Amino acid sequence: MTFSVLVPSSLVREAEDKREATRKLGYVARAATVFRTDRLIVFPDGEGERRWGGGFVETVLRYAATPPYLKTEVWGTRDELEYAGVLPPLRVSSRTGSGPERPGSLQEGIVTEVGSDGRVRVNCGLQHPISLLLPDGMEVSEGERVAIRISSREPVRARIVDEPLPGFEIQRADLPEVLARPDAGARIATSVHGTELSVGRLTELVGRIDDAGDLTVAFGAPGRGLPAILDVAVEDVAAAGGEGVEPDDPGFDLWLNTIPRQGSETVRTEEAMFASLAPLTLTE
């Protein structure tokens, strides 16, 4: 299953300073990690941005998603990362293969040098960069990230594999474009104005997600939910009974209120992610 989570470029609009904005994005990255998100996509909401917009949001999230042993080499020093020290560690689980074809753990490496003999040097968290043979048909360039299967660290035995990298990928794209992708699957918009999630509704929803095969969940920003961002009337969302809102809906299948007993006037994006992704990723 491809699991995509969408957040607006305005999601740190209420942060009082850059430190708080950075910390907030760290919790967003944590939620994406905890619930095994494949793609964390930032969609534009220029009208809702204040001091820190999409460029800041994307940079901090990309930094947070970079393995610790690659952060210095990939990012160096940047103004957006002034308070990167407050980001919580993601501790992405190393994907372990099974069977004789996929032994060992999977982790990310960065190509530091490309040779002329089909070999490259890769920094992948070991004591020194290691020389590895490229798989047939694969082409890489210096600075590119690759997936490494490490079957032994002493002595080092590793190989480059054509597999998805551990953790999640950060993308920046328009929301309608993402919802139109073939692997969007079940497309859910979270909103206080959507249909309330209940035990009975959850059972039906989990089956619907399983049937779709993939899942896309979108979130709004504090004080600026998805209806406001998309210019969709809240009355239309409520009247739709949870289904997509026509003709203004950009392509959602469901509008869902995942916190029906909300006790605060506004729910922050990172709070909504933890509250929403927990039930939506349950299995039958």
What is the rounded CA–CA span in Å between residue 176 and residue 126? 41
| Portions of the chain given CATH number 3.40.1280.10 | 3-91+167-281
User: Does position 77 have pLDDT exceeding 50, yes or no?
Assistant: yes
> For 92-135, how does the pLDDT look when each residue is reduced to its tens digit (9 = 90+)?
876 544 444 455 788 899 999 998 888 999 998 787 889 999 99
CATH class of 105-160: mainly beta
What is the rounded CA–CA span in Å between residue 59 and residue 147? 22
- Farthest CA pair distance, the chain: 64
Q: Which CATH architecture has domain 3-91+167-281?
A: 3-Layer(aba) Sandwich (3.40)
Helices (H) and strands (E) in the chain, counts: 8, 12
Locate tokens 């999640």: which residue?
168
Give every CB contact of residue 232 below 8 A, 6+ residues apart in sequence.
Answer: 226, 245, 248, 249
> For 213-265, how does the pLDDT look when each residue is reduced to its tens digit (9 = 90+)?
999 999 999 889 999 999 888 888 877 655 656 556 778 999 999 999 988 88
| Portions of the chain given CATH number 2.40.50.140 | 105-160
